Amino acid sequence: MATQSLLDEIQQLLDSELCESALQLAELECKPRLHDPQFVSGPTRAQLASEDLEQIVRDISDARWALGEHDLCLAQLRQIPRRHRTVRDVARMARCAALVHSSDARDLYEELLVRQPNATEAYEYVHARGAGAPFDGSTRHDVASITMARTMMRRLEYKAAASELQRLARRHRSNAHVVALHATCLFMLDDVRQSRILYERARALDAMLVHEMGAYSALLMQENDAHAVYALGSQLLRTDQTRPEGWVAMARFLAMTGQTQEALALVWKAQALAPLCAAAYCAEGGIQLLCECPEEAAKMFAKAHELEPTAQTYRGLISAHVQNGEHKFAYSYAKQLVELMPQNARALAAVGSVLAHSAESHAKAVRLLESALSVDPRCTDAVIALASLHVTNNCLSDAVSLLEKHLVDNETDDMYTRYADVLTLANELPKAAANYAVALEMNPSNERAKAGHERVDRLMHPSTESDDGEQGQELEPSDMSDDDML
């Protein structure tokens, strides 16, 4: 009989990505029993837990799915009686049938719609293949709500879209797609904490969810959580290697660990799989910026923006044009962004950051950055830009105070490094060294913190031979470029 220990062993192999081993174990030990009349009937029937056998079938199908054997995965799941199939079973069967162009793919998606009326993937599949599906008024209303929310998102009306999706989520609390869309709206509104909670809730509702995961990997990269990016990418690739989201997540992980060329290779693979996936081009734009290739980055962000304009593509275009010295283009995009999102702190900060590059516009830039902080005192973009302006204007005490205040709510290795940079300029070397050390403790691969710590160490402990001209000297703001602060 299928024992719990055997089920656990198969699941452990799957969790460890040893899909071949899980498949061999499940088929060797369990599959023959499914077809053994002596085992599934007669006196032993009372001793048999049918749900255990069905779980074995699901384990085998999981392994087949992870190996990309969609036809065999579908064949496995067909063994489960229709009345015992879960929504997850039907959803995977429908996806497999669509991938292998099975004739009953539409029937399976229609069955999924009956069980889960707001399954938008099923609705779109069936609707694209002609009318005649048994949709009720509730289904049409739900799909209309999601369509409206998506339209609002394309216009960057994220608050209105979030409200619409929140109303829809109250009616369908178990719909992962709706929850993920809501999470993306909150991410674009810079509510990172609540957005991450909702993304994780969506993944808990549907372990096979891939929609909106491109945005989630961007959020995790913004949070500098490399481990979470890797875990997300691994799971997405186990789910479906034909979709771009998993490759995008793994590309972002490689970029975070300094492997930019390998990251570009993966993001190009994602683009080849899905030429209309905006997230893949947006990811390449970010990686090209890390490679200090702003012209290429601008092209990629422009492509993503053409496919699906978002707050993220606007910010990418602004950063790429600023890095390329094209402040006129950067200001144009920043102005568009603030017109679309007038009460958004990061949008205001984007305009202020661009204006800060012109000495004639410093006063206006300060006003805009202070306005951004009045909207959201924790807006990191505004804090960094305003601190940089203070350094440029030789107001080091103001820069130190601003960063100290912001560190309370934003303890990241990047912020500790920036704080230490300003302390170095203010000649508070012991304090700067301590903050560089904190940054390196949080992220040992932070190259900027390493360089800063070494510079401070040389200033604090000058060698007997002056070979670098730094000993016994105080740094001036001009000794550190604006890039050290921005």
Question: Quick one: average pLDDT of 338-357?
Answer: 91
Select the highest-mean-pLDDT range: 26-35, 50-59, 472-481: 50-59
* CA–CA distance, 182 with 196 (Å, rounded to integer): 11
| pLDDT surpassing 70 at residue 112 | yes
Instruction: Give the pLDDT band (50/70/90) at residue 361.
Output: confident
Q: Tokens 């994220």 correspond to what residue?
A: 158
Instruction: Give the pLDDT band (50/70/90) at residue 478.
Output: very low
Q: Which of 94, 32, 37, 38 is nearest to 57 (CA)?
A: 32
Q: Tokens 């790429």 correspond to what residue?
A: 320
* CA–CA distance, 124 with 137 (Å, rounded to integer): 16
pLDDT at 281: 96
Question: Quick one: average pLDDT of 100-105?
Answer: 85
Q: Give the rounded percent of residues in the chain with a pLDDT score beyond 70.
A: 78
Choice between 122 and 485, residue whose per-residue pLDDT is larger = 122
Question: Quick one: average pLDDT of 15-35?
Answer: 55
Helix or strand (DSSP H, E) at 392:
helix 380-392
pLDDT tens column, 42-94: 333 334 455 666 777 787 787 777 777 888 889 888 888 887 888 888 888 99
- The overall average pLDDT reported for the chain is 81
Question: Quick one: average pLDDT of 426-444?
Answer: 89
| pLDDT surpassing 70 at residue 196 | yes
Residue 420 tokens read as: 């230490």
Helix axes 278-290, 244-256, angle to 10 degrees: 10
Task: Average the pLDDT over each of 131-135, 208-212, 321-325, 471-475 and give the range with the smallest value.
Answer: 131-135
pLDDT tens column, 295-311: 999 999 999 999 999 99
The total number of residues shown for the chain amounts to 486
pLDDT tens column, 131-183: 444 444 455 667 677 778 888 998 999 999 999 999 888 887 778 888 999 99
* CA–CA distance, 417 with 423 (Å, rounded to integer): 10
Q: Which of 387, 459, 390, 464 is nearest to 429 (CA)?
A: 459
Question: Quick one: average pLDDT of 273-292?
Answer: 93
Q: Tokens 């699901």 correspond to what residue?
A: 58
| pLDDT surpassing 60 at residue 380 | yes
* Maximal CA-CA distance, the chain: 92
pLDDT tens column, 237-281: 988 888 899 999 999 999 998 899 999 999 999 999 989 899 999
* CA–CA distance, 112 with 177 (Å, rounded to integer): 14
> In Å, what is the CA distance from 43 to each residue of 47, 50, 120?
8, 14, 46
Residue 423 tokens read as: 């302390």
* SS3 annotation, 418-483: HHHHHHHHCCCHHHHHHHHHHHHHHCCCCHHHHHHHHHHHHHHCCCCCCCCCCCCCCCCHHHCCHH
Contact 226, 234 (CB under 8 A): no
pLDDT at 134: 44
Cβ density class 411-446: b for 16+ within 10 Å, e for less: eebbbbbbbbbbbbbbebbeebbebbebbbebbeeb
* CA–CA distance, 313 with 319 (Å, rounded to integer): 10
pLDDT at 245: 94
Q: Give the rounded percent of residues in the chain with a pLDDT score beyond 90.
A: 37
